Amino acid sequence: MSVSSLPATPAHIAIVMDGNGRWAKKRFLPRVAGHKQGVEALRRTVQACLDKNIRVLSVFAFSSENWARPADEVSGLMDLLAMALAREVPSLHERGVQIHFPGDRSRLSARTVQGLADAERLTAANNKLVLNVCFNYGGRWDICQAAEALRLAGQPITEESIAKKLALSYVPDPDLFIRTGGELRVSNFLMWQMAYSELCFSDVLWPDFDAAELQKALVLFASRERRFGQTSEQLVVRETSPKSGASTC
């Protein structure tokens, strides 16, 4: 039987919300219609995380590489972000969600940047769920900006100092990584932070994702033995020894 020294419920779930385009294509709809349905799936998933007492949810909404898409899709995604901000933030705030938008804002419009900052400020004191909507985010960008911040401050480069400068430094690393849409890759999401995340891939297209699909990933997570480089035997000793504090998320 598998024994884990960590809680069976993840504190932090990271999701690559993939498959919007294929969802739309199957219905002979424009790709942006898939992205719109993707916002609905995100709303369901946030509520499911609140219901299940998940502390942190990080979602990949737009990658550093997504600028390479056709111009009309990129502008559709920018418009959707503005729409979602106006429509979703008040209800997220009411439900106690603390929102962050990790990513490079230098290419976003002044209006969008203002909207992101306003949403972050409004929800800063909420404590039911931390929601990180990673927008114009890339794992490589994140590591580079952390290293650059350390260089400018004249600080040494260590694992700890880099971790403190990363865009998600205010939350623990993801315990569970989920990617929908059937692709078996990370696509430059939380490259540093996912070093020890449990990986879960689903063929479900993101617009079809719901609480039942999340539950399947949680069941899978609970079945995993997280060893962090140790052996199973060491974990059993740590679990049974009253002196040894089990590692926490």
Catalytic sites, residue numbers? 18, 66
- Report the interface residues with ligand IPE, using CB under 6 A: 16-22, 60-63, 66, 77, 181, 183, 185, 187
Closest CB to ligand IPE among 47 and 66? 66
Q: Which residues have C-beta within 8 Å of that of residue 169, sequence separation ≥ 6? A: 163
Which residue minimizes CB distance to Mg ion?
A: 18
Buried b (16+ CB within 10 A) or exposed e, 103-131: bbeeebeeebeebbeebeeebeebeebbb
- Least separation, in Å, of the C-beta of 228 and ligand IPE? 27
Cα four-point dihedral sign 105, 111, 116, 121: positive
Chain centre to alpha carbon of residue 119: 17
Burial class (CB in 10 A: 0-12, 13-18, 19+), 100: buried
Closest CB to ligand IPE among 206 and 221? 206
Which of the choices ligand IPE, Mg ion, none does residue 16 contact, using the CB cut-off of 5 to 8 A by kind? ligand IPE
- Least separation, in Å, of the C-beta of 167 and Mg ion? 22
- Least separation, in Å, of the C-beta of 62 and ligand IPE? 5
Closest CB to Mg ion among 18 and 175? 18
Choice from 15, 18, 78, 102 touching Mg ion (CB under 5 A)? 18
